[in-house]
Amino acid sequence: MTSKKLVNSVAGCADDALAGLVACNPNLQLLQGHRVALRSDLDSLKGRVALLSGGGSGHEPAHAGFIGKGMLTGVIAGAVFTSPAVGSILAAIRAVAQAGTVGTLLIVKNYTGDRLNFGLAREQAQAEGIPVEMVVIGDDSAFTVLKKAGRRGLCGTVLIHKVAGALAEAGVGLEEITKQVNMVAKAMGTLGVSLSSCSVPGSKPTFELSADEVELGLGIHGEAGVRRIKMATADEIVKLMLDHMTDTTNASHVPVQPGCSVVMMVNNLGGLSFLELGIIADAAVRSLEGRGVKIARALVGTFMSALEMPGVSLTLLLVDEPLLKLIDAETTAAAWPNVAAVSVTGRKRSRVAPAEPQEALDSVAAGGSASKRMALVLERVCSTLLGLEEHLNALDRAAGDGDCGTTHSRAARAIREWLKEGPPPASPAQLLSKLSVLLLEKMGGSSGALYGLFLTAAAQPLKAKTSLPAWSAAMDAGLEAMQKYGKAAPGDRTMLDSLWAAGQELQAWKSPGADLFQVLTKAVKSAEAAAEATKNMEAGAGRASYISSARLEQPDPGAVAAAAILRAILEVLQSQGV
């Protein structure tokens, strides 16, 4: 089965993609009759060297995203994963020559089709009297034994675009740029890894991987890598990649030694999430610095993709100060990141957090009967939530990501760990405040924020008094805060429904002579009834509000959890005979 793609047609997708980039970038122009994009200010390049690159489409933002002052003059694009036509390459060379440039450097990735087509266009241009040189970039570090075809051209080619562009912008001649670029290319290596393949529009995936397999050393055209490894952690995979890239027995290794400086590129091959990309980047920084390697610059993002391939490549370029100045030189290329000209290694990466404000001393000693009763209540709440984890997750799947039980269990485990540190405060205000901070930090999700808001607000009326009317006022304050910031109202099918129902019953505590257990028992029953009633409500807030009410046949998991917490509190207090 062919994969789904958002295209107008398979045949026209490369043209449409390039047209879209040019349409949104006033600094670019298309060359009529060709799949070629050029700087719109070609006339400003008179007397300077032009830089042309390109290859098959499907590697976006490469190569057209790197057109601009300080990088490429133009790009010739082929169909997806297909070398560009000789006629278009020659047309691009002629166009920049007619603009008054003093020569053209073709920057070509080491693939047979690219070498042949760019090479043929170069020969024809030279026959016309146009000065043209060509550098073939092979930065692949996958193969331990070099084959006749040499190393494949991968994401490191983008760094060559940058170095050559800075030299050309500085007015360096064609011969010298060619010489320096060839030297830089020898001090560079790239290695890719992927969780699965990609698929050319209109085609099936190019290879298949088992659920527990990862492809190591693959190219950027969907071709398989040098070997398959078992799925592992990001740290383990990054270590394996760097070990392979720097192994001196590997004929295509990068000669990275302790004490040397590198530019590191962490390149998304197209379908990796930004979350995973950040994890890989962190692992790479830690691993390299652990080897004594200084990371002079770190570039993280999508630079040279392979359509939607969910993978990443690491590129290492050995650098000195003169080369770093070329990397740091200004460019207007849209896809080049805004990287600070500051070394990554040696920079302080954290600052001390502000100290917590001093709290008033607990008027009731922690560890006393009240504190022990608080601990029993919390332990019962925790065991209740842990026991409900799977049930709450099942209820939550109808409305979203199915993690309500997991979120509440995370809160329960955090509370248990906190209780191990010592007895909880006996003061209700301090207890609720402590729990608020804990849940905000550890629980996560909107539930953590809502419980944190509720407890923070509820703690305020209890600072002066802990009478039954004060507890009723605390419930009112908590509910008001939840509604103010959560924007939910009773009847919106949220956790508020259970708490609101309980809060209405707790109003009775404000009357003289009110009975603690009689009112609390009614409040718990009302909360449970309200939770059950949410199955008949149309969601008006939260993630469930985006789901058709016809699909919500179960009660709201947040409301169920809130009612269960109240039930647990009641049962412990009854057992203690408070």
To the question of whether residue 109 is assigned a binding role by annotation, the answer is yes
Q: Check if the beta carbon of residue 165 is closer than 8 Å to that of residue 158.
A: no
pLDDT at residue 398 in the model: 75
HSE-CB of 422 using CA atoms within 13 angstroms: 8
Going from the C-alpha of 328 to that of each of 59, 157, 325, 349, 521, the distances in angstroms are 24, 16, 5, 21, 69
- 547 CB burial (10 A radius; 0-12, 13-18, 19+): middle
What are phi and psi for residue 79, nearest 5 degrees?
A: -65, 175
Residue 421 C-alpha from the chain's centroid? 35
Residues of the chain with pLDDT under 70: 1, 359-367, 399-400, 539-552, 578
CATH number for 369-576 (one of 3.40.50.2300, 3.10.20.90, 3.40.50.300, 1.25.40.340): it is 1.25.40.340
- 131 CB burial (10 A radius; 0-12, 13-18, 19+): middle
Residue 137: both structure tokens together:
């970039």
Residue 101: both structure tokens together:
């440039």
Scan for tokens 């570039």, then name that residue: 299
To the question of whether residue 444 is assigned a binding role by annotation, the answer is no
pLDDT at residue 3 in the model: 79
Q: Where are the alpha helices (DSSP H) in 263-329?
A: 274-290, 321-328
Domain positions in the chain: 12-198+211-328, 369-576
Q: Check if the beta carbon of residue 450 is closer than 8 Å to that of residue 427.
A: no
Query: CA quadruple 541, 543, 548, 553: dihedral positive or negative?
Result: negative
Closest of 3, 12, 90 to residue 57, by C-alpha? 12
d(CA 186, CA 188): 6
d(CA 118, CA 11): 23
d(CA 316, CA 191): 9
Q: What are the pLDDT digits (tens) for 479-526?
A: 999 999 988 899 989 999 999 999 999 999 999 999 999 999 999 999
pLDDT at residue 1 in the model: 66
To the question of whether residue 56 is assigned a binding role by annotation, the answer is yes
The architecture of the domain spanning 12-198+211-328 is 3-Layer(aba) Sandwich (3.40)
Residue 429: both structure tokens together:
């205000």
Residue 395 C-alpha from the chain's centroid? 28
Kindly list the catalytic residues: 221
To the question of whether residue 58 is assigned a binding role by annotation, the answer is yes
- Parallel/antiparallel/unpaired status of strands 213-216 and 227-230: antiparallel
Using the CB atoms, write b or e for 1-20: b if 16+ within 10 Å.
Answer: eeeeeeeeeeeebbbebbee
Cis before residue 253, ω within 30 degrees of 0?
Answer: no
CA end-to-end span of the chain, whole Å? 67
To the question of whether residue 57 is assigned a binding role by annotation, the answer is yes
Closest of 250, 268, 31 to residue 143, by C-alpha? 250
Q: What are the pLDDT digits (tens) for 96-133?
A: 999 999 999 999 999 999 999 999 999 999 999 999 99
Q: To the nearest 5 percent, what fractions of the chain are helix, strand and coil?
A: 45, 15, 40
d(CA 499, CA 496): 5
